[in-house]
């Protein structure tokens, strides 16, 4: 971990040198006047600053220091500024606190006491910044998406980053993992959100129809084409086209889509005119495009074009804790929708939810909870209402079991990575060789 940053402002080089030695656990920056202090705050953003109020050109008074204080707080309001005042300068100290200083300290400096004050300020700054991050996470990019697992939060973070661009995105995930929810989240977070989000499912539409659905057609292009019609790509001009199940896109249309992606123009069926279209494309598939590519069912050039930014959505079984969280949210949603009585899940139902494999992912969870809410004639939903198996024992694994399993897994991985060399594995794992020997024996690994 990088040490926390700390800016020391004092016009006395002797004091700075003394503090430098006493505060070696921090990454320090030093400043001797108001201008350099402010510069350091702007560039370096230290969470905590100690500020001597007697600065040049007015070292005998606090005017320059108080000015520096206000400027620092204006530039970076969450900075914790500890002001250091001369002896018997209580009044100035109080003025400084009124201006927003975090705390004050009287000279001569006792490094031990100052260290305590600084450590407290650092802790507060860290807590505040963590808090900000949590708030930001709740307001996360993925509107409509419930997630607490690390793997899904990482997906949300990536989505947040790529949403504002116009880049093509490929969402890969099993059926029911939330591909469409995420595609919408990307659109909502993009500058295109006021324009159309148009979805088309390549697997649901026959090949001949799909072409005119995507690209539109001119009047007379085929029997029944009685008037010129825009396709979905054109419809989504300025907005986003969600191309669902793109693994099912026929080869002929893959070529046409690739052309659009490279040149950003389309031709309607039966038309000759090139029409410039500004549509962002988000593709989704539950199939493995690489396999399709190997079977020559998917064009390689298109694959590389769409997979520049690809996001693998983890299946529900690989998102610890999410199933219960989502189940609870769905329960209250369906309860309202159907005016049902049910209040909650029983502990064993929760255990069954966490233990189930969820081959149909969130969609399956949605169906099971909906059915249970409608059918249950009691207040608490049991595993049987969800038609789920009760897991063995109480269903929850003890922390010890979870840790042991994780530990054994990590050791196996490290041993495999270091070709069975205990010393190397110990290095990778950050423990001693005897510890590795001990654990190999404990878990019966070879």
**Which residue lies nearer to ligand ATP by CB, 330 or 429?**
330
**Which residue lies nearer to ligand ATP by CB, 177 or 279?**
177
Shortest Å, Cβ 332 to Mg ion: 24
Asked, as a colleague might, if the bond just before 108 is cis with ω within 30 of 0, I would say yes
Shortest Å, Cβ 147 to Mg ion: 17
**Which residue lies nearer to Mg ion by CB, 37 or 171?**
171
**Which residue lies nearer to Mg ion by CB, 180 or 237?**
180
**Which residue lies nearer to Mg ion by CB, 180 or 407?**
180
Shortest Å, Cβ 363 to ligand ATP: 4
Determine, following the binding rule CB under 6 A, whether residue 314 of this chain makes contact with ligand ATP.
no
3-state secondary structure the chain: CCCCEEEEECCCHHHHHHHHHHCCCCEEEEECCHHHHHHHHHHHCCCEEEEECCCCCCCCCCHHHHHHHHHHHHHCCCCEEEEEECCCCHHHHHHHHHHCCCEEEECCCCHHHHHHHHHHHHHHHHHHHHHHHHHHHHCCCCCCCCCCCHHHHHHHHHHHHHCCCCCCEEEECCCCCCHHHHHHHHHHCCCCCCCCEEEEECCCCCHHHHHHHHHEECCCCCCCCCCCEECHHHHCCCCEEEEECHHHCCHHHHHHHHHHHHHCEECCECCCCCEECCCEEEEEECCCHHHHHHCCCCCHHHHHHHCCEEEECCCHHHCCCHHHHHHHHHHHHHHHHHCCCCCEECHHHHHHHHHCCCCCHHHHHHHHHHHHHHHCCCCEECHHHHCCCCCCCCCCCCHHHHHHHHHHHHHHHHHHHCCCCHHHHHHHHCCCHHHHHHHHHHHCCC
CA distance 380 to 342: 6
CA distance 4 to 323: 37
Which parts of 323-382 interact with ligand ATP (CB under 6 A)? 326, 362-363, 366
**Which residue lies nearer to Mg ion by CB, 129 or 143?**
143
**Which residue lies nearer to Mg ion by CB, 160 or 180?**
180
Residue 385, number of CB atoms within 10 A of its CB = 22
Binding site for Mg ion (CB under 5 A): 180
**Which residue lies nearer to ligand ATP by CB, 13 or 321?**
321
Determine, following the binding rule CB under 6 A, whether residue 147 of this chain makes contact with ligand ATP.
yes
Binder among 16, 146, 148, 410 for ligand ATP (CB under 6 A): 146
Binder among 286, 299, 356, 368 for ligand ATP (CB under 6 A): 286
Determine, following the binding rule CB under 6 A, whether residue 177 of this chain makes contact with ligand ATP.
yes
Shortest Å, Cβ 384 to ligand ATP: 23
Where does this chain touch ligand ATP (CB under 6 A) — which range of 126-134, 141-149, 298-306, 342-350?
Answer: 141-149
**Which residue lies nearer to ligand ATP by CB, 268 or 286?**
286
Binder among 179, 187, 192, 356 for ligand ATP (CB under 6 A): 179
Q: Please classify residue 190 by burial: count the beta carbons closer than 10 Å to its beta carbon, then call 0-12 exposed, 13-18 middle and 19+ buried.
A: buried
Binding partner at 178 among ligand ATP, Mg ion, none, C-beta below 5 to 8 Å by kind: ligand ATP
Give the x/- contact pattern for ligand ATP in 94-133, rule: CB under 6 A. Answer: ----------------------------------------
**Which residue lies nearer to ligand ATP by CB, 16 or 146?**
146
β partners of residue 376 = none
Binder among 4, 54, 176, 315 for ligand ATP (CB under 6 A): 176
Determine, following the binding rule CB under 6 A, whether residue 186 of this chain makes contact with ligand ATP.
no
Where does this chain touch ligand ATP (CB under 6 A) — which range of 109-117, 140-148, 294-302, 347-355?
Answer: 140-148
**Which residue lies nearer to ligand ATP by CB, 218 or 244?**
244
Binding partner at 145 among Mg ion, ligand ATP, none, C-beta below 5 to 8 Å by kind: ligand ATP
- Residues in contact with 42: Cβ distance below 8 Å, sequence separation at least 6, in sequence order: 75, 76
Binder among 178, 216, 239, 395 for ligand ATP (CB under 6 A): 178
The sheet carrying 48-52 orders its strands as 27-31, 5-9, 48-52, 80-85, 103-106
Give the x/- contact pattern for ligand ATP in 40-69, rule: CB under 6 A. Answer: ------------------------------
Where does this chain touch ligand ATP (CB under 6 A) — which range of 129-137, 168-176, 204-212, 229-237?
Answer: 168-176
Binding partner at 326 among ligand ATP, Mg ion, none, C-beta below 5 to 8 Å by kind: ligand ATP
CA angle 438, 439, 440 (to 5 degrees): 95
Chain residues that interact with ligand ATP, rule: CB under 6 A: 145-147, 173, 175-181, 286, 326, 362-363, 366
């Amino acid at each position: 971990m990088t040490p926390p940053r700390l800016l020391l402002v004092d016009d006395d080089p002797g004091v700075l040198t003394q503090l430098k030695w006493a505060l070696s656990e921090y990454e320090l920056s030093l400043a001797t006047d108001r201008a350099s202090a402010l510069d350091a705050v702007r560039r370096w953003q230290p969470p905590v600053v100690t500020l001597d109020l007697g600065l040049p050109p007015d070292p005998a008074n606090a005017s320059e220091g108080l000015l520096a204080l206000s400027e620092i707080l204006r530039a970076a309001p969450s900075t914790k500024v500890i002001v250091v005042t001369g002896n018997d300068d209580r009044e100035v100290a109080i003025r400084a606190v009124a201006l927003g200083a975090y705390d004050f300290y009287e000279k001569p400096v006792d490094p031990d006491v100052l260290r305590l004050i600084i450590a407290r300020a650092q802790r507060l700054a860290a807590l505040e910044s963590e808090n900000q991050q949590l708030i930001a996470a709740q307001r996360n990019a993925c509107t409509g998406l419930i997630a607490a697992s690390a793997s899904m939060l990482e997906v949300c973070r990536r989505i947040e980053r790529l949403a504002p661009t116009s880049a093509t995105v490929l969402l890969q995930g099993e059926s029911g993992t939330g591909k469409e929810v995420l595609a919408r989240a990307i659109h909502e977070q993009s500058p295109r959100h006021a324009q159309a989000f148009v979805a088309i499912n390549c697997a649901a539409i026959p090949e001949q129809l799909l072409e005119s659905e995507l690209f539109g057609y001119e009047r007379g292009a085929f029997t029944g084409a009685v008037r010129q019609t825009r396709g979905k790509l054109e419809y989504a001009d300025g907005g986003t086209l969600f191309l669902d199940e793109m693994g099912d896109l026929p080869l002929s249309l893959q070529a046409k889509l690739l052309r659009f992606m490279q040149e950003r123009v389309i031709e309607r069926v039966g038309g000759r005119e090139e029409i410039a279209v500004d549509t962002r494309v988000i593709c989704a598939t539950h199939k493995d495009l690489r396999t399709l590519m190997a079977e020559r069912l998917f064009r390689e050039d298109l694959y590389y074009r769409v997979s520049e930014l690809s996001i693998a959505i983890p299946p529900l079984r690989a998102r610890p804790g999410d199933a219960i969280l989502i189940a609870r949210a769905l329960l209250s949603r369906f309860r309202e929708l159907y005016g049902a009585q049910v209040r909650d899940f029983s502990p064993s139902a929760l255990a069954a939810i966490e233990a189930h494999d969820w081959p149909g992912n969130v969609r399956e969870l949605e169906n099971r909870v909906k059915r249970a809410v409608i059918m249950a004639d009691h207040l608490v939903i049991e595993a049987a209402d969800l038609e789920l198996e009760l897991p063995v024992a109480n269903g929850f694994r003890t922390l010890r079991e979870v840790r042991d399993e994780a530990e054994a897994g990590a050791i196996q991985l490290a041993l495999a990575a270091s070709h069975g060399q205990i010393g190397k594995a110990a290095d990778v794992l950050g423990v001693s060789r005897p510890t590795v020997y001990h654990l190999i024996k404990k878990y019966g690994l070879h």
